[in-house]
């Protein structure tokens, strides 16, 4: 009498198992692409302009939904495509003023609508950078004025002007790398 090895799969069963694995992988790729396009995105901080809030090479999770449901708010840290055509990397900066607000730089300090703006994380003097941007500067509707927290090492709205809201990729909600710097951002 001959025994049959029950652990062996027949050819149709093998192809079915392979098909199910390919199907699961395809579904995972589709879900990942949809999430990346419409919900969240991982971004690497490539500049030093947000130190010490965010360090160069930090990895952050960016919510793309927040500004589909609402508008940017002062204090939000955002990721956006630079309005400067020579830059292809996304920028990470803090929203300082919204459309209709007036920004003034005096004595190394920032004033928004005549009020001194105190950002505890910001350091260094906030000086004008481009002669084409005159202060006081009124932020056009549909745009935001952004600054890096490391004011002396930041190329921001002082250089390239206000950022159109359409250029915003999303709001930074979480720093997950390096692991010892894990932090949620709630503002």
Backbone phi and psi for residue 65, each to the nearest 5 degrees, phi listed first: -85, -35
87 is catalytic: no
Find the catalytic residue in 64, 82, 93, 157.
93
93 is catalytic: yes
Of 70, 91, 89, nearest to 146 (Cα)?
91
**Cα–Cα–Cα angle for 120, 168, 65, rounded to 5 degrees:** 95
Of 85, 76, 100, nearest to 149 (Cα)?
76
Find the catalytic residue in 49, 63, 82, 157.
49
Backbone phi and psi for residue 145, each to the nearest 5 degrees, phi listed first: -105, 125
Residues annotated as catalytic are 49, 93
């Amino acid at each position: 009498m001959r025994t049959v090895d029950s652990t062996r799969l027949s050819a149709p069963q093998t192809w079915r198992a392979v098909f199910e694995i390919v199907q699961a992988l395809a579904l995972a790729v589709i879900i990942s692409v949809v999430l990346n396009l419409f919900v969240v995105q991982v971004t690497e901080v490539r500049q030093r302009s947000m130190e010490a809030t965010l360090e160069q090479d930090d990895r952050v999770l960016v919510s793309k939904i927040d500004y589909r449901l609402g508008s940017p708010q002062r204090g939000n840290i955002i990721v956006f495509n630079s309005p400067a055509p020579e830059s292809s990397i996304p920028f990470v900066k803090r929203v300082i003023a919204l459309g209709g607000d007036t920004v003034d730089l005096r004595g190394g300090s920032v004033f928004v609508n005549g009020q001194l703006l105190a950002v505890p994380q910001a350091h260094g003097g906030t000086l004008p950078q481009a002669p084409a941007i005159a202060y006081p500067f009124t932020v056009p509707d549909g745009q935001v004025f952004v600054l890096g927290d490391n004011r002396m090492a930041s190329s921001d709205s002082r250089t390239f002007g206000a950022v159109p809201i359409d250029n915003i990729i999303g709001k930074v909600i979480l720093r997950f790398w390096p692991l010892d710097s894990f932090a949620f951002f709630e503002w």
